[in-house]
Chain A
Amino acid sequence: DIQMTQSPSSLSASVGDRVTITCQASQDISNYLNWYQQKPGKAPKLLIYDASNLETGVPSRFSGSGSGTDFTFTISSLQPEDIATYYCQQYDNLPFTFGGGTKVEIK
């Protein structure tokens, strides 16, 4: 199985800060990497697919990059409504594994 290592597991930042989360795959997954946002008590929501494509309707302050084994998710200017846990997910091989999540809080 492909292991997805996400870091950090949590972070605290100020409104307007640039926030970066990394995700590392245990083997090459090309660009088959998705990012989801999960707010407390809610279902996950797709933000980024195929490593760098922004899902329709998602604000442009969210972005993703990377290929192979190393990927980055960025919030260019953190907003209060971005408080959530963010998960990466590989979709290259079954089983479709998720990273452990990064909880983002406001400082």
Chain B
Amino acid sequence: EVQLVESGGGLVQPGRSLRLSCAASGFTFDDYAMHWVRQAPGKGLEWVSGISWNSGSIGYADSVKGRFTISRDNAKNSLYLQMNSLRAEDTALYYCAKDSKYQLHQRGHFDYWGQGTLVTVSS
């Protein structure tokens, strides 16, 4: 059974940093691209970032480019999101999602999602 378990969320002050983690199990982690998708309270889904199977291809939403860094450790079956210079508008539930393909540009789909970890940016 595929499982994605996010952690690392919490309350953080504007301008500070936070690192999210996603622990994957039930599938061969290094065979697939992975993504972060967020959802602000009461709002829709926003794709944040994606990374190919070998970290060779990475993409970011314009809203986080230069502040967030996605990475993965295939030996630990884990996905990460380093979030720096956090803003109030980054407050959201952050989901980890598995791609159906191994490259970002293979045009797959997000076939499994975690339950999310909540990030609140407030002073």
Chain A residues engaging chain B, CB cutoff 8 angstroms: 1, 32, 34, 36, 38, 43-46, 49-50, 55, 85, 87, 89, 91-92, 94-101
Are A46 and B59 interface neighbours, CB within 8 A? no
A-B CB pair tally, cutoff 8 Å: 60
Q: Which of B12-51 contact A (CB under 8 A)?
A: 35, 37, 44-47, 50
Give chain B residues whose Cβ lies under 8 Å from the Cβ of A38.
45
- By the criterion CB–CB under 8 Å, are A34 and B116 in contact? no
B82 interface residue (CB < 8 Å to A): no
B107 touches A92 (CB 8 A): yes
* CB atoms of A43 and B47 under 8 A apart: no
Q: Please, which residues of chain A bring their CB within 8 A of the CB of B47?
A: 89, 95-98
Q: Give the residue name and chain of the A residue nearest to B105 (CB).
A: A94
Q: Which of A43, A87, A101 contacts B115 (CB 8 A)?
A: A43
The answer to whether B109 touches A91 (Cβ under 8 A) is: yes
B55-76 with Cβ < 8 A to chain A: 59-62
B104 at the interface (CB under 8 A from A): yes
The total of chain B residues at the interface (CB under 8 A) is 23
Q: Does B111 contact A (CB under 8 A)?
A: yes
Give chain B residues whose Cβ lies under 8 Å from the Cβ of A46. 109-111
Complex: chain B residue closest to A94, CB-CB: B59
Closest chain A CB from B54 CB (angstroms): 17
A34 to B47, CA, bound (A): 13
When the two chains form their complex, are residues A43 and B44 in contact, meaning their CB atoms are under 8 A apart? no
CB distance from B103 to the nearest CB of A (A): 12
Q: Quick one: closest B residue to A100, CB to CB?
A: B44
**B100 contacts A44, CB within 8 Å?**
no
In-complex Cβ contact of A55 among B45, B60, B111 (8 A): B111
B44 adjacent to A98 (CB under 8 Å): yes
Top 7 nearest A-B pairs by Cβ distance? A49-B109, A43-B113, A94-B59, A98-B45, A96-B47, A101-B44, A34-B109
Q: In the complex, are the beta carbons of A44 and B109 less than 8 A apart? A: no
Give bound CA distance, A98 to B111, whole Å. Answer: 15
